[in-house]
Amino acid sequence: MERLRHRATSSLLSRRDVVVVSSVSCIYGLGNPQTYLDRSVLLNTGDEIDRDHFLRLLVDIQYERNDIGFTRGAFRVKGDTIDIIPAYEETAVRVEFFGDEIDALYHINPLTGDIISQADTIRIFPATHYVATPERMHRATCDIKAELADRLKDLENRGKLLEAQRLRMRTEYDLEMIEQVGFCSGIENYSRHLDGRSAGSAPATLLDYFPDDFLTIIDESHVTVPQIGAMFEGDMSRKRNLVEFGFRLPSALDNRPLTWEEFEERVGQTVYMSATPGRYELTAAGGEYVEQVIRPTGLVDPKITVKPTTGQIDDLIGEIRTRTAKNERVLVTTLTKKMAEDLTDYLLDTGIKVRYLHSDVDTLQRVELLRQLRLGEYDVLVGINLLREGLDLPEVSLVAILDADKEGFLRSTTSLIQTIGRAARNVSGEVIMYADKITDSMQYAIDETERRRKKQIAYNTEHGIDPQPLRKKIADILDQLTDTPHEDTPDDLVAITHQPNSTTEIQQLITTLTTHMGDAARDLNFELAARLRDEIADLKKQLRGMKDAGL
C-alpha cells in the first residue's frame, strides 16, 4: 500500500494523465506536496554533481544505503555506479558517473541487474511524504519541545504523573530520532510542526497533490458521502484518548481527516455515482441527474417475487436445489449474525454446501469466500449487510431476502435496491422476498426495479439485443497479496499467508501464534502481542464454530 501511495503522489506531481482510485482515506493527512516536490532529486544525463553529495541527498530524503539487501527505498553503491529502488517503483534506477558528471541513467531489473531502458531525465521523489528542509526540521523540533514543556506542566499540575512520564519518554525518543536521522515512527503526528501550520488548520491530503482542474468521481455516493462526513469525528474520538492518557501531544489532533466542509472546498467538478443516490447528491445536482439504466451486455434487472414467511426455509431449500442443479449460486440475506450462523448450520445439515459472511469474518477471508463461491466450492452464501454494493458475482442467479417486511436500515429502500442488484449480473437473475406484508420500502424497491426492467426489455427488443451473461475472470486477490515482497514489513510481524481450512490446521496455527505472542511479550513488544492475542481469539472462535458444525 505504501508503494502505491507513493506511486500516486509521484505521478500526480510529474504528469497530467493520472487516474487515482482511492478509499475515503484520501482525506487523511499526507504531508505537504510542495515540500515533497521541492525535496525530490532531478537527474539529467550530463549534469555535474559530486557523487558523495548525491549520496547525502538520498539519505536526506530517507533512502537507506544497503549494499547487501537491495529493497524498495534503498540504494547501493559500487564505485561510480549507484542503484536506487524508488519508494514508488518495482524497477530500480541506475546512475552511472564519470567523475562528477552523470554519464548515463537506466531503468534496471533490481533482481538480475538487466537494463530495461535508458533515460535522459529521472526524478527521485522522497521515500516518505513527511520530509522537510534542515531549517524547517530544526524549527519543528523547537516547536515540539516547547509544546512538550507546556503539556508536561499541565499534566503535572493535574496530578497525572504517569501520563506525563509516558509522554516525556515517547516524545524525547521521537525528537532524538528526528534530530539524528530526520524521521521517526509516527512522524505524521508531528505534521503540524513540520508543515508550519497553525493549530486547528486542515492538513495537506492526497487532494492537494492534484492540479486545480481535477475531476472527482464519488462511487456509491449514498454510502461514501456520509462516510466522509463521519471520518473526522471518529478520528477525533480516538485521538483525544491518546492525548488525554499521554501517548501523544495535543498537536497530534491536527493529523486528522478533513471535515466535510474542508473536503467540499478542495474538490471542484464532482460526479456522484449511485444506483440509490441520497438526498445530498440530488440537492447538490439541483435535481438534475443522468440515468444509466441500459447495460452493454443487455442484462436486465431481476424479476422479483414476494412469498409468505410460512414455510420459508423449506421453500428456500427447494429454490436452492433448483439453482444448484443448474450450477448456479445463491445469496441469502438475514437480519442478524446469529440468524446467519444458525441458518448456515441448518442448511449444512440438509447437505447444502453453504458458508456465512458477516462483519466478524476477517477482510481477507471475505475475499476468499467470494472467490470460492464463484469457483463452485460451495453454492450458497448467507450474509447480512455485506451482500450489497460492489459485489459482481455473475454466477449468482437467486437472491433471497428473509424478513423483507421488517422495516429498518437493513430493509430500507436503499438496502433492498442494492441487494436486488446482486442478481442483475445473471441472465436468469431472480429475487425472492419472504414477507407477510409489503412495506413502503419494499413497494418502492419493487416499483423502481420493475420500471428499470421494463425500460431495459423495451430497449433490447427495439435494438434486437440478446442479453449476454457477464464474463468475469475469477482472479485471486490473495495471490497478489502473498506474492508481493514485504520489504517494509517489520521483522516482528507475523504474516499469515495461508488461510487454514481444517480444525487441525487452525489448532497448529493457534499454537504457533501463541509462541510468537509469548516471544513478543518477553521482548516488551506489547502492541504486537495484543494483535496476536486478538488473532488467536478469532481463530479459537472459528475453531469452536467448525466443531459445532461437525466439520
257 and 250 Cβ atoms separated by less than 8 Å = no
Name residues whose C-beta falls within 8 Å of residue 352's C-beta, 6 or more positions apart in sequence: 317, 320, 321, 324, 379, 380
Predicted local confidence at residue 488, as pLDDT: 38
Q: What is the CATH number of domain 41-124?
A: 3.30.2060.10
246 and 236 Cβ atoms separated by less than 8 Å = no
Least Cα distance to 514 among 490, 534, 542, 498 occurs for 534
- Among left, alpha and beta (phi > 0; psi -120 to 50; other), residue 159 is left
Q: Which segments of 499-549 does DSSP mark as H helices, in order?
A: 503-522, 526-548
Predicted local confidence at residue 102, as pLDDT: 93
218 and 15 Cβ atoms separated by less than 8 Å = no
DSSP string, 81-141: EEEE--TT-SSEEEEEEETTEEEEEEEE-TTT--EEEEESEEEE--SSS----HHHHHHHH
Least Cα distance to 380 among 318, 473, 471 occurs for 318
CA angle 239, 240, 245 (to 5 degrees): 100
Q: Which segments of 39-77 does DSSP mark as H helices, in order?
A: 51-60
401 forms beta bridges with 333, 433
Name residues whose C-beta falls within 8 Å of residue 299's C-beta, 6 or more positions apart in sequence: 424, 425, 426, 427, 429, 456, 467, 468, 469, 470
Residue numbers in the chain where pLDDT is lower than 70: 470-502, 548-551
Which triple of cell numbers denotes residue 478? Answer: 490473495
Counting beta carbons within 10 angstroms of the beta carbon of residue 300, is it exposed (0 to 12), middle (13 to 18) or buried (19 or more)?
Answer: buried
The 10s digit of each residue's pLDDT in 69-122 is: 788 899 999 989 999 999 998 899 999 999 899 999 999 998 888 999 999 999
CA atoms of 418 and 391, how far apart (whole Å): 10
5 and 89 Cβ atoms separated by less than 8 Å = no
- 274: helix, coil or strand? coil
Predicted local confidence at residue 489, as pLDDT: 38
First to last CA, the chain: 36
CA atoms of 289 and 281, how far apart (whole Å): 9
Least Cα distance to 551 among 345, 357, 268, 261 occurs for 345
Counting beta carbons within 10 angstroms of the beta carbon of residue 149, is it exposed (0 to 12), middle (13 to 18) or buried (19 or more)?
Answer: exposed
Tell me, what DSSP letter sits at residue 163? H
Predicted local confidence at residue 492, as pLDDT: 40
330 forms beta bridges with 380, 398
Q: What is the pTM of this model?
A: 0.72
Which triple of cell numbers denotes residue 39? Answer: 525535496
Predicted local confidence at residue 499, as pLDDT: 53
Q: What are the backbone dihedrals phi and psi of residue 495, each rounded to the nearest 5 degrees, phi first?
A: -95, 125
Which triple of cell numbers denotes residue 186? Answer: 509516527
Predicted local confidence at residue 47, as pLDDT: 92
**One-letter amino acid of 4:** L
Q: Order of strands, edge to edge, in the sheet holding 303-307?
A: 303-307, 430-434, 396-401, 329-333, 380-383, 354-357
Predicted local confidence at residue 486, as pLDDT: 38
CA atoms of 185 and 260, how far apart (whole Å): 29
Q: What is the CATH number of domain 303-463?
A: 3.40.50.300
- 381: helix, coil or strand? strand
CA angle 414, 417, 418 (to 5 degrees): 80
Kindly calculate the radius of gyration of the chain based on its CA atoms and give it in whole angstroms: 28
Least Cα distance to 416 among 229, 282, 275 occurs for 275
108 and 91 Cβ atoms separated by less than 8 Å = yes
- 15: helix, coil or strand? coil
C-alpha 374: how far from its chain's center?
23
Least Cα distance to 39 among 13, 69, 19, 65 occurs for 13
